């Protein structure tokens, strides 16, 4: 049980920071667009990565020359593009939260979600490398991994469905512009950190 709690606490603290993936889940929750599918995709992706880290894949990823650079620059390119798209939406404005409006198709939502997850090097650093390394300190590595996976499920579903509390605020176009501006700048900041780290 101690390993489970430690895994949950560390997993939750790592995922708590705002990032590209979390911002996307928040937007989907605010729009009430494919929330369950997006949250499940994020949580299951994390589960696969955490399992790989606990199983020792982090050491392998470090050992493959050039893999870290490819992940870093590929992720930065995607975040720059997505950030530019979001900043353009902030500049353009005019979006409001109304039922049934502004919803992209399920396929587009899931592809964006998968790209924001699997093309983000920070996800690998947090889930595979860091959680994998810390899990080695516990005799009950399975319990540690289960705790970290549980934290992902709790966080993503809490964020996706909890966003509805903010829905009244996002009935005003100005709120969307502010959110898009924050999300776009966050994406660019993360991309900048990836390029110059």
> Using N-to-C axis directions, what is the helix angle for 141-162 and 20-31, rounded to 10°?
40
Q: Which residues, 6 or more positions from 4, have their beta carbon under 8 angstroms from its beta carbon?
A: 140, 143, 144, 146, 147, 150
CA dist., res. 111 & res. 105, Å (int): 10
pTM for the whole structure: 0.71
Domain that holds residue 145: 2-195
Q: How many domains does the chain have?
A: 1
CA dist., res. 64 & res. 53, Å (int): 15
Which of 163, 151, 134, 115 lies closest to 53 in space, CA to CA?
Answer: 134
Place of tokens 């605020």: 169
pLDDT of residue 74: 72
User: Are 40 and 114 in contact, with CB atoms under 8 Å apart?
Assistant: no
pLDDT of residue 122: 75
pLDDT of residue 101: 44
CA dist., res. 163 & res. 152, Å (int): 16
C-beta atoms surrounding 197 within 10 Å: 11
pLDDT (tens place) for every residue of the chain, 197 residues total: 888 998 898 888 778 766 778 888 988 998 889 999 999 999 999 999 999 888 876 566 567 777 667 766 776 787 788 788 878 877 876 555 544 445 678 999 999 999 988 988 778 877 887 777 778 778 898 999 999 999 999 999 999 999 888 878 777 778 778 877 887 887 788 778 767 76
pLDDT of residue 146: 95
- C-alpha angle 39/45/47, rounded to 5°? 100
Q: In whole angstroms, how far apart are CA 66 and each of 60, 69, 73, 124?
A: 12, 5, 11, 15
User: Are 116 and 26 in contact, with CB atoms under 8 Å apart?
Assistant: no
């Amino acid at each position: 049980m101690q390993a489970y709690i430690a895994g949950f606490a560390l997993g939750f603290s790592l995922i708590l920071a705002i990032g590209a993936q979390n911002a996307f889940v928040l937007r989907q929750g605010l729009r009430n667009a494919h929330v369950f599918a997006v949250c499940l995709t994020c949580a299951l992706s994390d589960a696969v990565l955490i399992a790989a880290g606990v199983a020792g894949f982090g050491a392998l990823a470090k050992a493959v020359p050039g893999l870290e650079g490819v992940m870093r620059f590929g992720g930065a390119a995607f975040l720059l593009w997505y950030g530019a798209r979001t900043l353009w939406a902030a500049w353009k404005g005019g979006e409001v939260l109304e039922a049934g409006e502004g919803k992209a198709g399920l396929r587009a939502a899931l592809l964006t979600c998968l790209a924001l997850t699997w093309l983000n090097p920070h996800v690998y650093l947090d889930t595979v490398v860091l959680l994998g390394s810390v899990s080695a300190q516990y005799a009950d590595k399975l319990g540690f991994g289960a705790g970290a996976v549980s934290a992902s499920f709790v966080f993503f579903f809490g964020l996706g469905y909890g966003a509805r509390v903010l829905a009244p605020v996002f009935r005003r176009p100005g709120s969307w512009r502010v959110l898009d501006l924050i999300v776009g700048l966050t994406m660019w900041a993360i991309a900048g950190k990836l390029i110059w780290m």
